[in-house]
Structure 1
Amino acid sequence: MMLQIDDKKTRGHQRMPSGTQEFRERTKRDAQTEMLKELERLENTAVGANKELFHRQFAGFAELFHRFLQEEGPSVLWERIEKLPESAVRDYNTLVEPSNEEVKAMLDKLIVVKLNGGLGTSMGCHGPKSIIEVRNELTFLDLTVQQIEYLNKTYNTNVPLVLMNSFNTDRDTQKIIRKYKGLNVEIVTFNQSCYPRINRDSLLPIATHCNVDEAIDAWYPPGHGDFYESFQNSGLLKRFLNEGREYCFISNIDNLGATVDLNILNLLMHPDNNQCPEFVMEVTDKTRADVKGGTLIQYDNKLRLLEIAQVPKEHVDEFKSVKKFKFFNTNNLWIKLSAIQRVLDEKSLNLEIIVNNKVLESGINAIQLETAVGAAMKSFDGGLGINVPRSRFLPVKKTSDLMLVTSNLYNLKNGSLVMSPQRMFPTTPLIKLGDNHFSKVKDFLSRFATIPDLLELDHLTVSGDVTFGRGVSLKGTVIIIANHGHRIDLPSGTILENKIVSGNLRILDH
């Protein structure tokens, strides 16, 4: 018997023995059956109106779990990736500016959706990320509302602002949006799904009941790919279609560059070839800082998004190449509402599953199954990429991003950040701040008397215990490293140009 097994090992390239295949199929079936039993048991713990809500959400979750069990191997075969056709990505500079008379009619057909499900925990903040102050004591949400109000006032229109919250952000967001009641903006919210985290060992839910607030660690929002079904389930898709709205503009709430662009809207409403694209993804030129971002590819004669998680290990370096894959996804998307309805009715929305591994505070290894909103591109007709300026991608994921957007590199105009005309080149500086002293917003703010002048900065690296006085100016490449046990306090008015400042405060040219 032992010899037989060894013999099979040597023929490993042949088909898997049917016994093994059968065993795997049986374990998958068992896992699916057990999961459905557990979901039914969980659903029975829900009370009142929540019962119907959980019933619907668990149906979506069960389908995702079923696909997770069935799908094997990469979702993209590397050798089948085709070269992007010339017409796949349009240069933003070729877009036509609409006349003032056209703008109102176009805006009447638009809704703006902000993905507002994330918490500010990665930057050491409690509550929704959208309520972090980013500029002049204004939050992400304040700036977004200002932008939409300015549009509505300027063009005498009523573009609604739709917030997709999660169970993590909904309650706080509802309290905050009350203060915008007197403004010329209709704010509508809906919640994305709430799914149970899965125990990695048992492949069963960690949750034991449906009181989410009491066991918040056992639940998760399943990524922004959940937008489509949750939007439909909320009744808002039907409502906006009935109102004659045609397109939604979707972006992350923390991307301060994602404002309503009238030239892109004009392309959607008045296309050159009379074929309105159903799905437009804003992409921008990839730099070395963006090598992990999703990119656009042509696959099976359709444009689609390729994320690093889908790339086979042996091709990751190729994926990161700025030459081969020149663009990356900003997650600013323009999608035709009637097409969303059609794709959902046809059940042809097949989003790649992202498996996110987590270790909970209790020590349990959990997995959460997520999807990305941009991955739907392949399910729509007439997909198009638009290569937009970098200024349309200003995300604030870390305090280094916060340093950029709060600095004199940008001016604030009607809720939008505009790069200062005094900046000689359009690229933003690369900033790296040490995690130990700068990663949390509170710590970051305590280290700057005022944010330095960055107008002429190319690259900044700060590591260790470093503080900045008032009116510090940084130019060219500046590296400041306080070695362990040392502290560097830059006095007010310091000007550093192409300097390395080391732990003993020597300043050297480089």
Structure 2
Amino acid sequence: MATAVATETDKIANLRAAVAGLDQISENEKSGFISLVSRYLSGEAQQIEWSKIKTPTDEVVVPYETLAPPPEDVEATKKLLNKLAVLKLNGGLGTTMGCTGPKSVIEVRNGFTFLDLIVIQIESLNKKYGCSVPLLLMNSFNTHDDTLKIVEKYSNSSIEIHTFNQSQYPRIVVEDFMPLPCKGNAGKDGWYPPGHGDVFPSLMNSGKLDTLLSQGKEYIFVANSDNLGAIVDLKILNHLINNQNEYCMEVTPKTLADVKGGTLISYEGRVQLLEIAQVPDEHVNEFKSIEKFKIFNTNNLWVNLKAIKRLVEADALKMEIIPNPKEVDGVKVLQLETAAGAAIRFFDNAIGVNVPRSRFLPVKATSDLLLVQSDLYTLVDGFVVRNKARANPANPSIELGPEFKKVGNFLNRFKSIPSIVDLDSLKVSGDVWFGAGIVLKGNVTVTAGPGEKLEIPDGAVLENKTIKSSADI
């Protein structure tokens, strides 16, 4: 056993010496990285005892409809909003959708990008109530330079915009546990941003946390920049301030599409996030069932700023480590990450709020883009509002083939986005092209055979159809 301990100590000592020589990152980043690796090597991964898991009560995961209405008085609302800052996680690139640069600059609707909509939303809030809610963007080293250029276009806006970078950590070579940049790979491939759990120390290390506290801000609303449903909610903010909750996670009812999403549990008297990676193999099916675990984490989080400062200063945020293996130029590397939602168990009086599904509208793929660009939604003051003509509370299920994966290809293949208010499901595969003014209803499947090009003509109405050739239209 002694040798195992020695090698672990040696690994850390060697790593520490190697990291000390990396001048691309700050002392805070170096110590944060060493701390994360030390925790990982000590194997402190917490095993969940399945029998101790309890379903949270309505006091712990509060139903949204039971929240008290916010004050109606404009002055009281202004006072409430002046305690708030909004932070969007802006570290992701749009590579999966075939874009270069930050994902937040993909055009979502009417020529507006995610970032445009976020700015318009906060501007209209500040204008309506005469308050000053600032916007913070947490970038990664991948998105930082581009975002600074993009943010310039809002320089005449009435809203205070702050940008800061999350940490930059070196990827670890699996073979000898040394940092990849020390092996001569000094480019961007040698580094990684360590997940959005890093939001808390980075907020503090950047000086932004103290700035917000000095402005009298008390809460920060954190959300993914690609979640169009993550808008400021006065009912939730009002509830947190009145009940002095240090942390709130918005959860929403699971559908079969969300079975892998993390869920909230009560565990040894505290509320905790349970992720699929923590679930013992023999319980995975139970975790995925929507009978026992009915809710999942939307990653819309509301956190008390003083509590963040207290916990970061005490180095108390030991979130579960997510090992993410990768390969760079044939070299097996490891990046260790954490998730912001996992911090819930360290905050006092933490709760979940079970929110309507409308607050979770992420755009992860072009199939999601089809939803938000269609007549299923309209745009009002930067807010994406669902069409009341849609009777079904669930959105249609949409599966587009690889030909549609990149945004450019997706846009080329639709002359205009079809009407889908009455659509239940759409499956498209092969070389398919859509004309203008098409209406889709019920369950529609369109399949072009190998080597064939299938064009759906302008104005076609397809209801409960399977189409394999133009004759089927």
Normalising by the smaller structure, the TM-score range is over 0.9
CA shift, 1:425, in A, is 2.5
CA shift, 1:126, in A, is 0.2
Which of 124, 127, 149 is residue 150 of structure 1 equivalent to?
A: 124
1:35-434 alignment, distance < 5 Å: 35-42=15-22, 46=23, 53-71=25-43, 74-98=46-70, 99-101=72-74, 102-208=76-182, 215-270=187-242, 275-360=243-328, 362-434=329-401
Partner of 1:447: 413
Tell me, in whole angstroms, the C-alpha distance in 2 between the residues paired with 1:464 and 1:75: 45
Count of aligned positions: 471
SS in 1 for 2:227: coil
Question: 1:24 is aligned with what amino acid?
Answer: A
CA shift, 1:74, in A, is 4.8
SS in 2 for 1:268: helix
Tell me, in whole angstroms, the C-alpha distance in 2 between the residues paired with 1:191 and 1:142: 20
CA shift, 1:505, in A, is 4.0
CA shift, 1:342, in A, is 1.5
Tell me, in whole angstroms, the C-alpha distance in 1 between the residues paired with 2:227 and 2:55: 29
Q: Scaled by the length of structure 1, what TM-score is found?
A: 0.90
Tell me, in whole angstroms, the C-alpha distance in 1 between the residues paired with 2:356 and 2:55: 23
CA shift, 1:96, in A, is 2.3
Tell me, in whole angstroms, the C-alpha distance in 2 between the residues paired with 1:481 and 1:229: 49
Tell me, in whole angstroms, the C-alpha distance in 2 between the residues paired with 1:382 and 1:483: 57
SS in 2 for 1:208: helix
Question: 2:394 is aligned with what amino acid?
Answer: T
CA shift, 1:77, in A, is 2.4
Question: 1:93 is aligned with what amino acid?
Answer: E
Q: Does 1:472 align with 2:445?
A: no
Which of 438, 443, 467 is residue 501 of structure 1 equivalent to?
A: 467
Partner of 1:461: 427
Tell me, in whole angstroms, the C-alpha distance in 1 between the residues paired with 2:447 and 2:210: 56
Q: Do the aligned residues in 2 keep the contact of 1:74 with 1:311 (CA within 8 Å)?
A: no
CA shift, 1:204, in A, is 1.0
SS in 2 for 1:122: helix
Tell me, in whole angstroms, the C-alpha distance in 1 between the residues paired with 2:237 and 2:372: 26
* Aligned-pair identity (%): 51
Q: Does 1:488 align with 2:454?
A: yes
Tell me, in whole angstroms, the C-alpha distance in 2 between the residues paired with 1:81 and 1:460: 38
Aligned Cα RMSD in Å? Answer: 1.6
Q: Do the aligned residues in 2 keep the contact of 1:74 with 1:312 (CA within 8 Å)?
A: no
Question: 1:475 is aligned with what amino acid?
Answer: K
Tell me, in whole angstroms, the C-alpha distance in 2 between the residues paired with 1:89 and 1:483: 49
Tell me, in whole angstroms, the C-alpha distance in 2 between the residues paired with 1:304 and 1:432: 33
- Which has the larger displacement, 388-397 or 479-488? 479-488
Tell me, in whole angstroms, the C-alpha distance in 2 between the residues paired with 1:128 and 1:415: 19
Q: Scaled by the length of structure 2, what TM-score is found?
A: 0.97
SS in 1 for 2:240: helix
CA shift, 1:73, in A, is 5.5
CA shift, 1:22, in A, is 3.0
Tell me, in whole angstroms, the C-alpha distance in 1 between the residues paired with 2:422 and 2:161: 39
Question: 1:30 is aligned with what amino acid?
Answer: D
Question: 1:485 is aligned with what amino acid?
Answer: G
Q: Do the aligned residues in 1 keep the contact of 2:45 with 2:321 (CA within 8 Å)?
A: no
How big is each residue's C-alpha offset from its partner over 1:243-276, in whole Å with a ceiling of 9 and x where there is no partner? 2111000000000000001111111223xxxx31
SS in 1 for 2:198: helix
SS in 1 for 2:437: coil
**Structure whose alpha-carbon radius of gyration is higher:** 1
Q: 1:231 to 1:307 in 2, by over 3 A?
A: same
Q: 1:73 to 1:145 in 2, by over 3 A?
A: closer
Question: 1:491 is aligned with what amino acid?
Answer: P
CA shift, 1:193, in A, is 0.3
How big is each residue's C-alpha offset from its partner over 1:378-433, in whole Å with a ceiling of 9 and x where there is no partner? 00011111111111000011110111111110000111100012212222111111
SS in 2 for 1:68: helix
Q: Do the aligned residues in 2 keep the contact of 1:130 with 1:253 (CA within 8 Å)?
A: yes
SS in 2 for 1:207: helix
Tell me, in whole angstroms, the C-alpha distance in 1 between the residues paired with 2:213 and 2:272: 26
Q: Do the aligned residues in 2 keep the contact of 1:207 with 1:215 (CA within 8 Å)?
A: yes
Tell me, in whole angstroms, the C-alpha distance in 1 between the residues paired with 2:382 and 2:49: 43
> Which blocks of at least 5 consecutive residues in structure 2 are unaligned?
none
Q: Do the aligned residues in 2 keep the contact of 1:75 with 1:352 (CA within 8 Å)?
A: no
> Which blocks of at least 5 consecutive residues in structure 1 are unaligned?
1-20
